[in-house]
Structures are given as C-alpha cells and as structure tokens.
Amino acid sequence: MPMSHSTAHDEPRPGPARITVNLAPKAATALDQAVKLTGDSKTDTINRALQVYAYLEKVIQDGGTLFTRSADSHELERLYFV
C-alpha cells in the first residue's frame, strides 16, 4: 500500500490534477512571454504561477502589502490585484 505524501502540517497532498483551461488573449500572451523568459514548459510555468499567486494572495489576506521596484528606479510601487 503506497504511503501518502504529507505537508509540514501533516495534511495529505493531492495528486496531480489534469484540467483544461481557456486562457483570455492577454493571459495566453503572458504565458508565452513567461515561457520564453524562463525556458520552462507551459505546464511548469502555470504550476509556478499558481503557487506564486497563492502566496501573494495569502500575504494580502493576512494584512500584508506588496511592493515592487524596477531595476532603474529607487521608487517602490505598491501592487494591487483587482
């Protein structure tokens, strides 16, 4: 009988999930751009993007604030999700 994987909180990890997604044109362009930038597959890029999004949403839900700074600026810009 195979052992189930668990997280640090002893919750079972779900197995792989196969889904079909219809991307809006902007999202499809963003996916293509991310794939070109990273060299990762579309699947790996989507998996990573969902993990990053979940983390950022958790920061916001917990009362945190997100900022970014471009390479040529010293100014911080606050990020908002709408």
- Residue ranges of the chain with per-residue pLDDT less than 70: 1-9
pLDDT at residue 12, as a whole number = 80
Q: What is the pTM of this model?
A: 0.74
pLDDT for residue 1: 46
- Which DSSP symbol is given to 81? -
Q: What is the pLDDT of residue 8?
A: 56
Exposure string for 27-36, b = 16+ CB within 10 A, e = fewer: eeeebeebee
- Three-state DSSP class for 22? coil
